[in-house]
Amino acid sequence: MVRVLLVESTSAQSIYEKFGTWSQCRRTIVQISECAIFGDQFADIERRLEMNRMGSIKDIHVSVCDLESAGFRRADS
């Protein structure tokens, strides 16, 4: 099970989360992201997850509406 956290980069810093398998979460990130995410970024994250560590992808641009429709929920409220 993987927990994906998306943190808003504006001053509000809202946090959205979603749980699922790594493949489900990877698919969701690709679907909602307006930016190209390369396979080596996912490979690096997968290596970190296998070591029970945290991975990150910077500069994902997505609307709140898209997050909610993809099953993310506010984690900071």
- Give the Å distances, CA to CA, from 11 to 14, 18, 26, 56: 9, 22, 27, 20
Distance CA 68, CA 18 (A): 10
Nearest to residue 28, comparing CAs of 51, 6, 50?
6
pLDDT-based confidence at residue 73 (cuts at 50, 70, 90): very high
Residue 1: strand, helix, or coil: coil
- Give the Å distances, CA to CA, from 30 to 12, 51, 61: 24, 23, 11
Q: What is the pLDDT of residues 18-45, one digit of tens each?
A: 999 988 988 888 888 877 788 888 888 8
This prediction's pTM: 0.75
